[in-house]
């Protein structure tokens, strides 16, 4: 059901505005964003819609197609529900337009949550689009992404990087966004003409992700302190010998090698070399499985099955600890690769496909 219909059936009136934002898949460059490195996400067709009306009091009344009905107020403490995102968006918009108070809100989404496809960033961006349009305040896309990230840091509790919000706020369909997280410069690059990225959910949802995510962030900050660099973006692979702690060493190895893989993957995309791109995806997955330790048995099984059945490469996408795998395959092999993976991994399901031919 659309968010406007949900709003109407729940609040018995029309919403003042409906906006939406898309999820993203990250093609390569995982956990590099909060180390000021490189990422290569692309929008997915699935999106999240919000319909809202502003209120004259401090109440927030919400209905979500996935998470049900909730009530709170703009001054309540964070409670781990999706209203934390709403409270965060109101808080930051109030800094620009102090007259904003509570709201009624309906949310509906086709982005599977907890799958590494950025349903949270889509909620932040859709909310900021809605409030800014309603109050006639102008927030540029990059600024919106930064506010979205602050909502996560201050209201949700994930010390995330900027990739998801930048992709959701600034991405274009059928293009990969090469983002330099140090200066937020972006470059759009068309995806391969005769190859597709298939996104398959491994069947395991993300578990304990906030804690593990923040733990990885602390481990990589520790590594940059040891190496005396402002961030691991500025470290090289030969510096690794200076890190004695085996865990911190492995974490840093993943980030440094992953940044290098993103730069190489960008060249592969520009030079239409899907074979080398696929190899980089496989090395990226191995690095996340063995050095960053964010994979799961289900994710590994999907990656192995894809490679065994004719894919050029595959890797987990997003924060890890469950969620989705992105697979690169020639367009003509797409149906057989997807079918074989789904046969091999009965708990897995197909989410979507990113393809120049199929999406145009
Ligand atoms: C989550 C975070 C991003 C990024 C990815 C891992 O999606 O929100 O900032 O760190 O994990 O690449």
List, in sequence order, every residue forming a beta bridge with 103; answer none if it has no partner.
54, 60
pTM metric for this prediction: 0.96
- Residue 48 scores a pLDDT above 60: yes
d(CA 241, CA 298): 33
Percent of residues, the chain, with pLDDT higher than 90: 94
Q: How far apart, in Å, are the Cα atoms of 68 and each of 151, 179, 276?
A: 21, 35, 45
Burial of 10 (C-beta count, 10 Å sphere; 0-12/13-18/19+): middle
Neighbour tally for 229: CB within 10 Å: 16
Ligand 1 pocket mutation pick from 32, 33, 119, 210 by most atoms within 8 angstroms of CB: 33
- Residue 311 scores a pLDDT above 70: yes
Centre of ligand 1 to C-alpha 86, Å, is 20
- Tens digits of per-residue pLDDT, 106-144? 999 999 988 999 999 999 999 999 999 999 999 999 999
Cβ atoms of 333 and 310 within 8 Å: the answer is yes
Centre of ligand 1 to C-alpha 164, Å, is 7
- Tens digits of per-residue pLDDT, 181-225? 999 999 999 999 999 999 999 998 876 557 899 999 999 999 999
Q: Cite the active site residues.
A: 164
Ligand 1 pocket mutation pick from 113, 119, 123, 164 by most atoms within 8 angstroms of CB: 164
The set of residues, in sequence order, having a beta carbon less than 8 Å from that of 150 and lying 6+ positions away, is 88, 92
pLDDT at 250 (0 to 100):
98
CA nearest neighbour of 260 among 29, 20, 12? 29
Q: Taking CB atoms and a 6 Å cutoff, what residues make up the pocket around ligand 1?
A: 26, 30-31, 33-34, 160-161, 163-164, 318-319
Give 31's pLDDT tier (boundaries 50, 70, 90): very high
pLDDT at 352 (0 to 100):
96
Ramachandran bin of 71, using left for φ above 0, alpha for ψ from -120 to 50, beta for the remaining angles: beta
Half-sphere exposure (Cβ direction) of 185: Cα atoms closer than 13 Å: 4
pLDDT at 211 (0 to 100):
85
Element (H, E) at 335: helix 334-344
Q: What's the mean pLDDT when you consider all of the chain?
A: 96
pLDDT at 358 (0 to 100):
54
- Tens digits of per-residue pLDDT, 163-172? 999 999 999 9
CA nearest neighbour of 134 among 145, 126, 143? 126
In this prediction, residues 46-57 reach a mean pLDDT of 97
Ordered domains of the chain (ranges, CATH): 3-189 (3.30.230.10), 192-355 (3.30.70.890)
List, in sequence order, every residue forming a beta bridge with 122; answer none if it has no partner.
none
d(CA 324, CA 30): 13
CA nearest ligand 1 atom 9, residue: 161
d(CA 51, CA 14): 9
Q: Which atom of ligand 1 is nearest to the CA of 319?
A: 11
- Residue 360 scores a pLDDT above 60: no
Pair of tokens at residue 46 = 């699935």
Give 297's pLDDT tier (boundaries 50, 70, 90): very high
pLDDT at 35 (0 to 100):
98
């Amino acid at each position: 059901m659309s968010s406007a219909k949900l709003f109407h059936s729940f609040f018995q009136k029309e919403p003042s505005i409906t906006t939406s934002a898309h999820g993203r898949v990250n093609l390569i460059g995982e956990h590099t964003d909060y180390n000021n490195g490189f990422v290569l996400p692309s929008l997915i067709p699935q999106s999240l819609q919000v319909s809202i009306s502003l209120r004259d009091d401090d109440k927030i009344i919400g209905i979500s197609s996935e998470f049900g009905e909730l009530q709170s107020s703009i001054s309540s403490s964070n409670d781990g529900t999706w209203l934390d995102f709403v409270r965060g968006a109101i808080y930051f918009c109030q800094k620009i337009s102090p007259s904003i108070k509570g709201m009624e809100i309906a949310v509906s989404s086709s982005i599977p949550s907890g799958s590494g496809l950025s349903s949270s960033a889509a909620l932040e961006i859709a909310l900021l689009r809605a409030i800014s349009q309603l109050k006639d305040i102008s927030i540029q896309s990059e600024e919106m992404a930064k506010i979205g990230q602050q909502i996560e840091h201050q209201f949700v509790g994930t010390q995330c990087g900027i990739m998801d919000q930048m992709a959701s706020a600034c991405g274009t369909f059928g293009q990969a966004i090469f983002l330099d997280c140090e200066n937020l410069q972006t470059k759009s690059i068309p995806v391969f003409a005769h190859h597709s990225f298939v996104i398959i959910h491994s069947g395991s949802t993300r578990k304990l992700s906030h804690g593990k995510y923040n733990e990885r962030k602390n481990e990589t900050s520790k590594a940059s302190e040891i190496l005396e660099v402002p961030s691991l973006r500025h470290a090289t692979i030969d510096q690794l010998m200076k890190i004695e702690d085996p865990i911190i060493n492995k974490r840093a190895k993943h980030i440094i090698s992953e940044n290098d893989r993103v730069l190489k993957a960008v060249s592969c995309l520009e030079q239409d070399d899907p074979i080398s791109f696929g190899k980089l995806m496989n090395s990226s997955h191995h690095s996340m499985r063995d050095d960053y330790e964010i994979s799961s048995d289900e994710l590994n099984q999907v990656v192995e099955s894809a490679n065994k059945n004719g894919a050029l490469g595959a890797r987990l996408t997003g924060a890890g600890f469950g969620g989705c795998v992105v697979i690169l395959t020639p367009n003509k092999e797409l149906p057989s690769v997807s079918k074989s993976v789904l046969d091999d991994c009965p708990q897995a399901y197909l989410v979507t496909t990113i393809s120049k031919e199929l999406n145009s």
